Each structure stands twice: as structure tokens, then as C-alpha cells.
Amino acid sequence: MKKLLFPLFVLIGFQSLAQQHLLVDTHNDVLSSQLLTKADLGKLQRSGNFDLVRAAKGGLNAQVFSIWCDESLGKGKAFSRANREIDSLDALIRRNPKKIVLVNNAAELKQAYKQHRLAALIGVEGGHMIENRMDYLDSLAKRGMRYLTLTWNNSTPWATSARDETSAKLKRKGLTGFGKQIVHRLNTLGVIVDISHVGEATFYDVLASTTKPVIASHSCAYSLNPHRRNLKDKQLKALAKNGGVAFVNFYSGFVDPSYDAKEQLFLKKHARELNALNKIYGPYAPMKLNELHKAEADKMRPPLSMLIKHIDHMVKVMGPEHVGIGSDFDGSESYPTGLDSVVDYPKIVAELRKLGYKEEAIGLIFGGNFLRVLAANTGK
Ligand SMILES: [Zn+2]
């Protein structure tokens, strides 16, 4: 009996941790990979980080699904790919109407929470998805786009990315006139401007142009890991001044400054296998490689405490009103030890409590802040 009681207590303890607060994750890539895997996300999956069964177990109340393809698809293809990914979200919702519902504003999100249904939101990742067309932007907004990440790793003709601003010889950096028109249009339509992935010049141009609070949907702190995808303290302060929120990314490479070098060695060692996997899985080949060499990949994962440090640092710089969670689940090959899927959010809550975080601050970080920014953008 004793043997049984303990795990039961742990399980109940875990669930109550999550259920006390609204839990929102602002970045999950599963819809992009699902086009390839054809996984039925309504059912428990053996691989990947997300499905409706595990989302419920982890206490997840709202998920922003990223709509993305890489730049190789290019003009003439990216917008239709975006629509296919939204189609598959619609199909998931149609098959599971009691479990998940598409929401367009904060009021609808709260309603879904009351109904114990997962609130699904759409975030389009990368300005290339609109193929430089304002009518495509409008069309995606109509289908439910609630944020647009202005660039992915690739720049658009109207906004420069973090990768290109730090590694390419650019004639100009930041937003063009058309880029500013896009920010204005997003503000008007109630679509949040997302500055994850953009370069610093674009970041400051956005803050000078936007009339609404903006977000970084999945970024970590640069001062803990000087990666071009992470945000410098000065940027974090500017974001807080705008009323915006930075949602912390779980990807090991953004969390841990020593991860990149370890991963490069790992990829080199398995180069031939990676090459073969590339032909089948494209951008998801590194994820597959990690699955096939799990023990080895597990050794490279940073401890959970390192992720907690990013959250804590951002809270110290910006205050708990400006920090959130944007896991990047199903979009990366590695996360800190213990974070295997959407089941594991309560572990982060537990760590923050250990650090002495008050329930009010935890409530803001896990959902309240997103709700505030969403309402400020949609007006509801
Ligand atoms: Zn991303």
C-alpha cells in the first residue's frame, strides 16, 4: 500500500500545480512537422512533444500553434503551405470539439478555459509566409492568425532577421517603409507583432512603429547565453516599456551556452546518418537523429535549473508582468532534462515556487501576461 500511495500523491500534487493557474504556451511547431508525420494529435503519440492527451495531463489551457515552413519553399508556395497547416488544425478541432477550440481574442480564450477545452491560437512564423502581399496577411488574419513573427532566420525584403543582421553583409538593416505598413496593418487587425527571430535593428524599428504591445514568442536571455536568437537586457527593458512580453524558449541551444559545440560534435559524428535522414525528414532530421541516439543526446541536455535561470533573469530585468513561456516544443531537437513534452510544465512551476515565487507572479508568467497583451491587441 505504501508503495502505491507515494506515486499517487506525486501525481495528484503535479496536477494541482498546473490547474491553479491559466497555462499558456506561445510557441509549438507540431503543425509543421505533422504534415510529414501525419500523426493524429487527438491521440497519445509515442514521439514528439505534443498531443491533446498529454496537453490535458500537463494542465495546458492555451496553445499558440506556429504556422511555418523554411525559406526553401519560397514564393508561390509558402502561403499555400501556411493554409494547409491551418487546415490540419481545423481538422484536429473538428475531430475533437470537446477538447479543443479555436479562439480569436482574450474573451474567447477565457471562455474555452471555463469549458475545460484547450484554446488553440494561430501564430504565423516568418514574414516570408505572406509572400510580400498585404492581401495574404489579411487572409491569414481572417483564418485566425493572432501573431506574425516578422522574420524567421531568413530576412524578408522588408525586415532583417537576427541571423542576417549578425552574419550577412547587409546594405540596410531594420524595417523598410513596407515593413512599417505591415506593423501598422497588424496593429489595426488585432494581430500581435512577434519580434522573436528579428535582428536588433528591426526590433527597435518595430518598437518605434507599433501602437500596441508586442511579444517575443520564443526567445531566451542573451546575457546568460550570447546567442543571436536571444534578447539583450537593453532589449528586454525596451520590450517591458512597450508593455510587451518575452516568452522563454526551452530549446537547449538557446538556454545553454555550451550546447552548440556539443551538438556540432554529435552531428559530425553521425554525419552520414544525418545526410540520409535529411532526405526523408528535411528540417526535422536532427530531431530524428536525437531520437535514434537517445542516450547520447540525453547527455547533452542542460539541467532544468538553467532554463529557470533564464526565466528568473528576465523577471529581474523586466518584472513578472513581462515574462511568459513559449516552449518551441516540436520545433527543436533538445530541451533541458525533465522537459520531454507538454506534460512537464508543472515541473517549471514547482521550480519557481522553490525559488520563492509568489502565486500571483506565477499566474502572470504562465498565462496572465499573454491574456493582457492579447486583449490589448484584439480589443476584447
Ligand atoms: Zn522559431
Rounded distance from Cα 114 to ligand 1 centre (Å): 30
Task: Give a yes or no: residue 53 inside a domain.
Answer: yes
User: Is 141 in the same domain as 185?
Assistant: yes
Return the DSSP state at 97. T
Beta bridge partners of 161: 198
Go through 130-154 and write b for each residue having 16 or more CB atoms within 10 A of its CB, e for each that does not: bbeeeebbeebbebbbbbbbbbbeb
Question: 209 alpha carbon to ligand 1 midpoint, in Å?
Answer: 23
Mind listing the pLDDT tens digit for each residue in 22-52? 999 999 999 988 888 888 999 999 889 999 9
Average pLDDT of the residues in 260-279: 94
Q: Point out the domain boundary residue: 272, 301, 330.
A: 301
Give 66-121 pLDDT, tens digit per residue.
999 888 887 789 999 999 999 999 999 999 999 999 999 999 999 999 999 999 99
Strands 62-67 and 24-28, by their bridges, are parallel
User: In this structure, are 132 and 249 located in the same domain?
Assistant: yes
Q: Are residues 321 and 348 in the same domain?
A: yes
Q: Coil, helix or strand for 338?
A: coil
Judged against a pLDDT cut of 70, whether residue 279 lies above it is answered with: yes
What is the distance in A from the centroid of ligand 1 to the CA of 301?
A: 19
Residue 198 located in a structural domain: yes
The residue type of 368 is G
Ligand 1 centre distance from Cα of residue 81 (Å): 17
**Residue 50 resides in a domain:** yes
d(CA 13, ligand 1 centre) in Å: 32
The amino acid that residue 122 corresponds to is: I
Give the CB-side neighbour count of residue 115, counting CA atoms within 13 A.
Answer: 17
CB 69 within 8 A of CB 32: yes
Residues 280 and 338 in one domain: no
Residue 91 lies in a domain: yes
> Do 251 and 168 share a structural domain?
yes
Centre of ligand 1 from the C-alpha of residue 110, in Å: 26
pLDDT band for position 296 (cuts 50, 70, 90): very high
Residue type, 3: K
Q: Are residues 224 and 311 in the same domain?
A: yes
The string of pLDDT tens digits covering residues 174-217 is 999 999 999 999 999 999 999 999 999 999 999 999 999 999 99
Residue 98 Cα to ligand 1 middle (Å):
30
Indicate the number of domains in the chain.
2
Q: Domain of 232: which CATH number?
A: 3.20.20.140
> For the residues 274-290, what does the mean pLDDT come to?
90
CA of 54 to the centre of ligand 1 (A): 22
Q: From ligand 1's centre to the CA of 356, what distance in Å?
A: 31
Residues 174 and 242 in one domain: yes
Q: Does residue 87 fall inside a structural domain?
A: yes
49 and 87 in a common domain:
yes
Give Cα 209 distance to the centre of its chain. 23
> What's the 277 CA to ligand 1 centre distance in angstroms?
21
Calculate how far, in angstroms, residue 349's C-alpha sits from the geometric centre of ligand 1: 23
Q: Which residues pair with 221 in a beta bridge?
A: 231
Residue 283 has what pLDDT? 83
Residue 357 has pLDDT above 90, yes or no: yes
Q: How far is the CA of 3 from the centre of ligand 1 (A)?
A: 43
For residue 55, the model assigns a pLDDT of: 97
What is the tens place of the pLDDT at every residue in 237-255?
999 999 999 999 999 999 9
Task: Please tell me whether residue 103 adopts helix, strand or coil conformation.
Answer: coil
Task: Provide DSSP, 166-206.
Answer: HHS--S--SB-HHHHHHHHHHHHHT-EEE-TTB-HHHHHHH
Residue ending a domain, choose from 301, 330, 363: 301
Q: How many CB atoms are closer than 10 A to CB 354?
A: 10
Q: How far is the CA of 152 from the centre of ligand 1 (A)?
A: 6
Q: pLDDT for 135-166, tens place per residue? A: 999 999 999 999 999 999 999 999 999 999 99
- Cell 477565457 locates to 110
Last residue of a domain, one of 244, 279, 301: 301
What is the rounded distance in angstroms from the CA atom of residue 256 to the CA atom of residue 263?
Answer: 11
227 and 198 belong to one structural domain: yes
Cell 505504501, residue? 2
228 and 100 together in one domain: yes
Q: Do residue 138 and residue 182 come from a single domain?
A: yes
What spacing in Å lies between the alpha carbon of 115 and ligand 1's midpoint?
30
Whether 14 is in a domain gets the answer: no
Q: Which domain holds residue 279?
A: 263-301
If asked whether residues 267 and 317 sit together in one domain, one would say no
Is 1 inside any structural domain?
A: no
Residue 239, in any domain of the structure: yes
Question: Distance from the CA of 52 to the center of ligand 1, in angstroms?
Answer: 22
